[in-house]
């Protein structure tokens, strides 16, 4: 009688396969998400860089640069998710190999999570370094602080791994709260105290914390907790992507978005009449598509930038820039159902579709122009200047959506 063969497990191959499978799964959605948000992110970075520079040059004496830097770094240091790609079926098939999996596969998962999160921490430190460098007093150098931050991150990540193995929920909650408090305290000591004192106190605190998690560490894996943590992390990523494109795993059809009826009537001026058929359609298309989110983001971002500008030229340029950007964004709405065969079946005039699209876009754009005018009232020297820009914006909106040669629908 042959002895049963010993089960083997290749941690590197399994980890690589599951990582690759997940990347292939989300790759199409990531492309669409980047296309949707790239313009907004670019404008946000430009606006943030402008105001960041003004803050550095115009900050009053004693401005709490160190405390703000610690606050910005806190989530990057304390939030320590660990991707394991564990599935529910693994609790059955991998259980006999628990020791080997904990030693090799899970160690690889923790190290991979540290590599990704260390990059995020580095990006955050690069972002706050100019402000931190403006702070008065003795402070650690860039490399010195970065090395301490990376050690802090690695210890806190190990603490979170210990939390995932605990079976008692109250212990997990207390240890998670301690992790956030310890991250905040270490960042405060590192960035506000003198370099020797801050580094020594952080090292002592981390040694005590490391000893605590070593005492609380459970040798066995809490499989159900690992599956639940992976499910939450995976769901978070898919829901984030679902804000830009419909993710098939969450639902197989477009999600229903119920738009307020008063808003629809105000934008389209709807009546129960055949001539308003396409108005009803285009308002719903705009409210249920990514165009609504993009228009809202551009309007909010433009309003914020205008709020922090002064004079005549700068607010006017920003106002006209975002007026044009929202018009270009709304241009895509007119292309919806342009080649739909149903538009030729309905007993409606052929030109009604384009006319209705013009009406809806003109009203939406007029609302965005009016909203962008509000911060102009205090950004400009006199209110009449804001009203003149409002009239100019409404005039441009009318030209873009009405005159055939200049209309955004001419192509």
**Tell me: the pLDDT tens digits for 154-185?**
999 999 999 999 888 899 999 999 999 999 99
Looking at the structure, tell me whether residues 165 and 298 fall in a common domain: no
SS3 290: helix
Alpha-carbon distance of 37 to 23, in angstroms, equals: 20
Provide the Cα torsion 211, 113, 72, 146; round to 10°: 70
Q: Given this model, what pLDDT does residue 345 score?
A: 59
Q: Given this model, what pLDDT does residue 51 score?
A: 79
Looking at the structure, tell me whether residues 186 and 96 fall in a common domain: yes
> Is 250 within a domain?
no
Looking at the structure, tell me whether residues 173 and 265 fall in a common domain: no
Alpha-carbon distance of 364 to 152, in angstroms, equals: 50
Looking at the structure, tell me whether residues 19 and 165 fall in a common domain: yes
Q: Given this model, what pLDDT does residue 1 score?
A: 47
Q: Are 328 and 341 in contact (CB under 8 A)?
A: no
Q: Are 24 and 85 in contact (CB under 8 A)?
A: no
> Is 60 within a domain?
yes
Looking at the structure, tell me whether residues 228 and 271 fall in a common domain: no
Looking at the structure, tell me whether residues 314 and 232 fall in a common domain: no
Looking at the structure, tell me whether residues 216 and 281 fall in a common domain: no
**Domain encompassing residue 97:** 11-242
330 pLDDT above the threshold of 90: no
Looking at the structure, tell me whether residues 61 and 192 fall in a common domain: yes
Q: Mean pLDDT over residues 205-210, rounded?
A: 95
Looking at the structure, tell me whether residues 268 and 385 fall in a common domain: yes
24-62 CB burial, b ≥16 within 10 A, e <16: eebeebeeebeebbeebeebeeebeeeeeeeeeeeeeee
> Is 247 within a domain?
no
Looking at the structure, tell me whether residues 205 and 300 fall in a common domain: no
Report the domain count for the chain. 2
DSSP H helix total and E strand total for the chain: 17, 0
> Is 4 within a domain?
no
* Mean pLDDT taken over the chain: 81
| CA-based torsion, 137, 143, 144, 149: positive or negative | positive
Looking at the structure, tell me whether residues 141 and 33 fall in a common domain: yes
> Is 137 within a domain?
yes
> Is 223 within a domain?
yes
Looking at the structure, tell me whether residues 277 and 237 fall in a common domain: no
> Is 352 within a domain?
yes
Q: Given this model, what pLDDT does residue 74 score?
A: 94
404 pLDDT above the threshold of 60: no
pLDDT tens-digit readout, 33-76 = 777 777 777 777 877 787 788 888 887 887 888 888 999 999 99
Q: For residue 265, give the DSSP letter.
A: H
| CA-based torsion, 5, 11, 14, 16: positive or negative | negative
Q: Given this model, what pLDDT does residue 118 score?
A: 95
> Is 122 within a domain?
yes
pLDDT level of residue 265 (50, 70, 90 thresholds): low
């Amino acid at each position: 009688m042959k002895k049963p063969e010993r089960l083997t497990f290749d941690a590197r191959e399994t980890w690589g396969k599951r990582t690759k499978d997940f990347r292939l799964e989300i790759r199409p959605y990531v492309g669409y998400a980047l296309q949707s948000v790239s313009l907004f992110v670019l404008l946000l970075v430009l606006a943030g860089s402008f105001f960041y520079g003004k803050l550095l040059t115009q900050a009053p004496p004693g401005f709490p640069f160190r405390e703000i830097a610690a606050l910005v770094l806190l989530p990057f240091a304390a939030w320590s998710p660990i991707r394991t790609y564990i599935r529910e079926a693994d609790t059955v098939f991998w259980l006999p190999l628990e020791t080997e999996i904990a030693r090799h596969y899970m160690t690889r998962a923790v190290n991979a999570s540290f590599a990704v999160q260390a990059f995020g921490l580095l990006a955050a430190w690069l972002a706050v370094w100019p402000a931190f460098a403006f702070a008065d007093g003795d402070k650690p150098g860039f490399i010195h602080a970065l090395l301490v931050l990376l050690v802090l991150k690695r210890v806190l990540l190990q603490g979170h791994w210990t939390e995932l193995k605990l079976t008692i929920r109250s212990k997990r909650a207390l240890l998670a709260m301690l992790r956030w408090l310890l991250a905040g305290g270490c960042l405060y000591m590192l960035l506000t105290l003198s370099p020797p004192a801050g580094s020594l106190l952080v090292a002592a605190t981390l040694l005590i914390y490391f000893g605590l998690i070593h005492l609380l560490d459970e040798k066995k894996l809490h499989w159900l907790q690992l599956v639940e943590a992976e499910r939450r992390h995976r769901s978070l990523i898919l829901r984030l992507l679902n804000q830009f494109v419909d993710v098939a795993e969450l639902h197989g059809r477009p999600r229903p978005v119920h738009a307020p009826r008063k808003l629809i009537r105000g934008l389209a001026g709807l009546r129960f009449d055949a001539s308003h058929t396409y108005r009803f359609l285009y308002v719903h298309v705009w409210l249920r598509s990514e165009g609504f989110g993009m228009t809202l983001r551009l309007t909010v971002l433009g309003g914020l930038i205008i709020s922090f500008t002064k004079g005549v030229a700068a607010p006017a340029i920003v106002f006209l820039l975002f007026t044009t950007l929202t018009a270009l964004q709304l241009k895509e709405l007119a292309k919806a159902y342009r080649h739909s065969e149903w538009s030729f079946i309905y007993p409606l005039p052929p030109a009604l579709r384009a006319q209705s699209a013009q009406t809806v876009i003109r009203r939406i754009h007029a609302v965005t122009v009016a909203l962008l005018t509000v911060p102009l009232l205090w950004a400009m020297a006199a209110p009449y200047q804001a009203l003149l820009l409002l009239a100019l914006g409404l005039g441009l909106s009318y030209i873009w959506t009405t005159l055939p040669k200049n209309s955004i629908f001419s192509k």
